[in-house]
A and B are shown apart, each in its own frame.
Chain A
Amino acid sequence: MYDAPNTELHVTQNDIKIAARKVQVYYGDTHAIKDVDVDIEDKTVTAFIGPSGCGKSTFLRCINRMNDTIDICRVEGDIQIDGEDIYDKRVDPVQLRAKVGMVFQKPNPFPKSIYDNIAYGPKIHGLAKNKADLDEIVEKALRRGAIWDEVKDRLHAPGTGLSGGQQQRLCIARAVATEPEVLLMDEPCSALDPIATAQVEELIDELKQNYSVVIVTHSMQQAARVSQKTAFFHLGHLVEYGETGKIFTNPEDTRTESYITGRIG
């Protein structure tokens, strides 16, 4: 592994949160993910980049078994979170998704009040004993979502009445309300303006103190800005995975280089 003098440099390295081995995903006859091996660190933002159709979102959706909802989709291989196989028959996908939160491309608040958007998850997972508990959970989540100050005076107004950027932060707050350990984000800023994007990116940076954040993004600059680790996917393969600074200044693989420098789409 490393020579003795190097070990000191790695003491700050985080534990492995998600370990994937030989993951294959098929949509019917289409082989969408081929032999992906990856170790995702805890308390780190990991970015998945790659051209459309490269499999990055598909792989992201394997991590909380969102692909189970697609009939023709078949996942093979091994994905472990904290050493536990998430595809084990005994694992309840609903419980798994409480532990592995997800934020989508377009903000999708429930057609309910801001308060109820946040309270819904904790309620169904039985995280609150009483109303006071629930109030506390809602406030904490909205604060973590960096949106508390903007909505504290209108908690019972509909969530759909917020601006796009506020809605997305509401969805992030909703995702963290169930106290997940991993947060998956599928292009969380693609429908937001630059200011709202900056706010969400700032939020992602704060979230990494508590969670392992995995973000799929089409914006290379966003990956460069928010992530510590970057994985480049191409045609279903994980081509290159490494420290973000290294990937963006001196990638090993020509395909990675071609993509990040704008030579292949």
Chain B
Amino acid sequence: MSDELTNHIASAFDRDLEGIQAQIMKMGGLAEVAIMQAATSLETRDEELAQKVRRGDAAIDALEEALNEEAARVIALRAPTATDLRVVLSVMRMSSNLERIGDLSKNIAKRTGVLIQMQPIGSTAASLRRMAREVELMLSDALDAYIQRDEALALDVIERDRDVDQMYNTLFREFLTFMLEDPRNITACMHLHFIAKNIERMGDHVTAISEQVVFLTSGRKPEEARVKEDRTSSDARLSPELDQDGE
């Protein structure tokens, strides 16, 4: 007896499970595109592309709804157990993470529409694009890990979210500095900061997706809670204003 699970005796069950997994991959693909296009539209100040991202979110939302209905149908009709149950549960959880990534991309695209009408703030748009690129690569790997049932790759993605958090903290300091230099930067910096925060949140959603891959392959959640390394954004004593006061 091999260690690999074979097909179901009821082949329609296999088709159902393949169906929802194909849908989650499609949703993931759309989310990847949304992340990158939102960040690119900001850097290249491309209102048309930003509009495309804003409109595209409806497709991701529709897929989430279809997926949840399909998953509910599989639960009702097939009573999945063990790995099959974990496939259905993980797909449902991942779909809500991907839906949130779609929303956050849409929010970035909305802010882009406003930011295009203002002066660019240094090279922060390029930094944001690099940060978005990192999250997009993480998502791409998380989805690969899902399809290939690759727990090691999923754990690697979870690890990489630290880099994204680091990039966010760096940008946070940068925006504060720009705002301190010139109050006229504040509106733009506030929007840019929300964009950075959105990308950082997307990283968290990708982490959650990777955790679902670990759950799917092993039946467990990854144990260790991540240690927060940089506390710039959560500790008032670390604010750059204090540096300026000579403290």
A residues in contact (CB < 8 Å) with B: 220-221, 224, 248-251, 254-258, 260-265
Contacts and interface: CB of A to CB of B under 8 A. Distances in A.
Interface string B202-227: 00000000000000000100000000
6 contacts: A224-B81, A249-B219, A250-B82, A260-B81, A261-B84, A264-B6
A255 B5 CA distance: 9
- Label chain A's interface by main secondary structure: helix
B242 interface: no
Nearest to B10: A262
B1 interface: yes
A63 to B, nearest CB: 27
A34 to B, nearest CB: 15
Interface in B73-102: 79-86
Contacts of A248: 81-82, 85
A178 B211 CA distance: 54
A225 B82 CA distance: 15
Interface string B21-57: 0000000000000000000000000000000000000
A264 B7 CA distance: 9
B9 A250 contact: no
A251 B86 CA distance: 12
B81 A261 contact: yes
Contact of A263 (B3, B7, B79, B219): B7
A254 B83 CA distance: 10
Nearest to A256: B82
Contacts, number: 48
Contacts of B178: none
- Label chain B's interface by main secondary structure: loop
A249 B1 CA distance: 21
Contacts of A258: 5-6
Nearest to B13: A262
A251 B219 CA distance: 9
A249 B85 contact: yes
Contacts of A263: 5-9
Given A249-B85, A250-B219, A254-B1, A261 B7 contact: no
B82 to A, nearest CB: 5
- The 3 A-B residue pairs whose C-beta atoms are closest, nearest first, are A250-B219, A248-B81, A260-B81
Contact of A257 (B2, B13, B79, B82): B82
A262 B81 CA distance: 9
B117 to A, nearest CB: 53
